[in-house]
Structure 1
């Protein structure tokens, strides 16, 4: 069986596709055909802005996967910096009220158990979170 030698530009395009697997995903999803992508690559080259969009999408996917990988705290703190401090304080106030309600329910349930012979010593704090205005 003889192997047919491909044109050098096709070989280069194959290497380009191997370096950029999002191109294959684009073909599989039906957004474009390999022929269209080859023509774009041949006419505009590897450094065209069209490929930058694909690279940016690839980087975005890497960033979201790194957040899942354990960098969520840094992402969360970065998001907190972008928020309005008054909005954060309001949300924390609501969270404090919700925690207080949960504590009341738990104390009532434990109070019922305490009547059956189980001793529970619980102090209700005035505010679970103490925040001071600057």
Structure 2
């Protein structure tokens, strides 16, 4: 197989990433992406102090994450409190009726409906393409 020849700067960046495995962790966590890291590396160079700080979590990061979690929980609890049980029951009933209608429609197309219904079209062979072995 032939590989694409990469630009020399990309090869240097790959080598830089091999020497700094924290960059891989940053991308996997979703804190950054390869394009941003490459652009920063290209503009700032390998000796920039930014690369020393990559991958280090500060106490502020932990407190921000816990605040986000508590905000999410308070939002969910607020939505649950605002729900009207009668309105929710109405939505569930409508959904149930819609699912019943879809099931009825599917059973008509599948030919599984029993009882009085529209006349069934004549059934042909179960396998319309017969393959024979020689």
> Higher helix proportion, which one?
1
Both structures adopt the same fold (TM-score exceeding 0.5): no
- TM-score, scaled to structure 1: 0.40
